[in-house]
Homo-oligomer: A and B are copies of this chain.
Amino acid sequence: MISSVLLGLLGVAGLASARNGTNPHDKTDLYAGRPVAHLTPPEGWMNDPNGLWYDEKEDLYHAYFQYNPNGTVWALPLYWGHSVSSDLTNWLYQGIAIAPERDDSGAYSGSAVVDYNNTSGFFNDSVDPRQRVVAMWTYNTPEKETQYVSYSVDGGNTFISYENNPVLDINSTQYRDPKVIWHEESNKWILTVAHSQKYEILIYSSPNLKDWKLESSFGDQGYLGYQYECPGLAKVPVVEGENGLTLSNLTSNNTSVNNYFNSSASSNGKVKEAWVLFISINPGAPQGGSATQYFIGDFNGTHFVPFTTQTRFIDMGKDYYALQCFFNSRNKNDVLSIAWASNWQYGSLVPTDGWRSSMSLVRNLTLKEWAPNPESVQLNLNSEPILNMKPSKAKNASTELTDVLLTTKDSISANFAPRMNTGVYDFEIVWSVNKNAFNNSRLNEWTLYIDSQDYYAEYLALGYDTTAGAFYIDRGNSYNDFVSLNPFFNNRESISLEPYSTSTNGTNTYKVYGVIDQNIVELYFNDGSIVSTNLFFFSDHNQIRGFETYTNVDGGFKFDSFKFHVLNF
């Protein structure tokens, strides 16, 4: 065990430097069950993403994370680990960036900003304005949780604690996860922080990142669960939907919404951007355990007002928590986000070896019009994954077909030779349904089986059924003891799906894009209007033999397009 007292004496830089360059994603990992396109810790335990920022000078993305390097379960002392990536797919571990002051304490979750104009006064000319990174995080001790500010003069590798910390202390043990953004319109820093068990998100403003003024609170909204965690505000561009709907169709009795749609943020009835407030809840999400919800609305520099008070989850899967958005990005309009791809119900028990937890893929967020049913139009948060890998050129590594009418006798399948089997795959299926073929007294389904290398009865099943009108995922067919025995690792989940498009003759078409990276499957429906992220585990390192499709309805489904690729760098 690393003594955090010793770390304090040596400074954190020494340790970070010693670990610098350790890449958990060397080639052996391509075949060893550790995700390669998802950020993982080199060893030990990881949870929430922290301090996400983009270094404009180096063209480099920084991701920190809640980190216990001394064991594979959450435990104090808790650190900020640090990884970087230039392509948002390959992550390189850099070492520990922030350490707590005591062994019984933690450098809990928080965020980072680039203080270009040195509003904080922490920097002198030796630090490039584009690297003037300031982190705000929760210092957790048995006595209370307070908000700390730290700054880095070495491009984000190590941080120096502000001498007058804490900058915020309300004498509470449940006050955490500060997320800071720059609010251009009011020329101020804006902070959201959770007063967790009061179900309040406190909103503060500051000119200098040190002195914070409480402006408002937002709370008692959405799904409460046990407590609120990891809030965050982001201004998200509204891009047009692809189904010809216009925002003028958006119905609402809410005056503030109508005002907003008539304000400067919109033109010609088209809203250009809106604010999104993220709130994670844990435990007690309706799906079980932890989940990330969001609200769409307006933020005027002091108050966040949602357009509607409906509850929405950004990802319907079981393994997507504590979403945070990057401060800045290469493309200025991108709103890049990362979440912890696990669940507090079983995160400390998943069967990985020497390390635990992955982050989600980085996702670019936009707001789009969305028709959940034929009579409604909503604004919806849309997620687009970033994955810089390409189809392997090995023989049989790619299957690409169009216009396949599914029958009970035929199937699409592929087998992967062991060394072409990197453990990373993507697939895209566009399917249309022939209503006349179905009978509601049975299942009417197509299924894609992702088969384990080791056992015939071990597979991940993904599919769609017209009787339920939903897509499903079944991760329960495994001989892995964790899957069999953990009472919170549920097998089946479902996603109610609106059509991607409807043809003039009434045929509905749907679309799913999936990424499998060793033990994670991320599903993006209809270009990201709905997402589901789930872990799955086979008996041995999730080695995949191949895939096969199935249907029980002759002529009920057509794959307008079917693509399945083994991916490589």
Contact = CB atoms under 8 A, between A and B. Distances in A.
A282 to B, nearest CB: 9
Interface stretch (A81-89, A130-138, A468-476): A468-476
Interface in A354-392: 372-376, 378
B492 A491 contact: yes
A562 interface: no
Contacts of A197: 373-376
Contacts of A253: 217, 219-220
A74 interface: yes
B486 A251 contact: no
Interface in A215-256: 217, 219-227, 251-254
A274 interface: no
Interface stretch (A110-118, A154-162, A285-293): A285-293
Interface stretch (A3-11, A12-20, A307-315, A509-517): A307-315
Given A492-B488, A493-B288, A496-B226, A283 B443 contact: no
Interface string A256-299: 00000000000000000000000000011111110000000000
B476 A310 contact: no
A164 interface: no
A298 to B, nearest CB: 16
Contacts of A288: 470, 492-494
A118 to B, nearest CB: 37
B488 A490 contact: no
A150 interface: no
B487 A443 contact: yes
B283 A345 contact: no
A465 interface: yes
A569 interface: no
Given A440-B73, A496-B226, A289 B346 contact: no
A467 interface: yes
A446 B447 CA distance: 36
A47 to B, nearest CB: 13
Counting chain B CB atoms within 10 Å of each CB, the highest count among A308, A311, A346 belongs to A311
A301 interface: no
B486 A220 contact: no
Contacts of A470: 283, 288-289, 345, 488
Contacts of A198: 251, 375-376
B222 A311 contact: yes
- Size class of the A contact interface (CB-based, 8 Å): 35 or more
A441 B73 contact: yes
Contacts of A73: 440-441
A71 B439 CA distance: 13
A478 to B, nearest CB: 12
A446 to B, nearest CB: 11
Given A308-B221, A309-B220, A494-B345, A487 B467 contact: no
Nearest to A293: B311
Interface in A490-527: 490-494, 496, 498
A487 B461 contact: yes
Contacts of A463: 487
B467 A349 contact: yes
A61 interface: no
A213 interface: no
Nearest to A195: B375
A561 B260 CA distance: 57
A437 to B, nearest CB: 17
A74 B440 contact: yes
A71 B375 CA distance: 31
Interface string A182-210: 00000000000000011100000000000
9 contacts: A73-B440, A197-B375, A198-B375, A198-B376, A219-B253, A220-B254, A222-B310, A288-B492, A310-B311
Which 3 residue pairs of A and B lie closest in terms of their CB atoms, listed nearest first? A284-B496, A309-B309, A197-B375
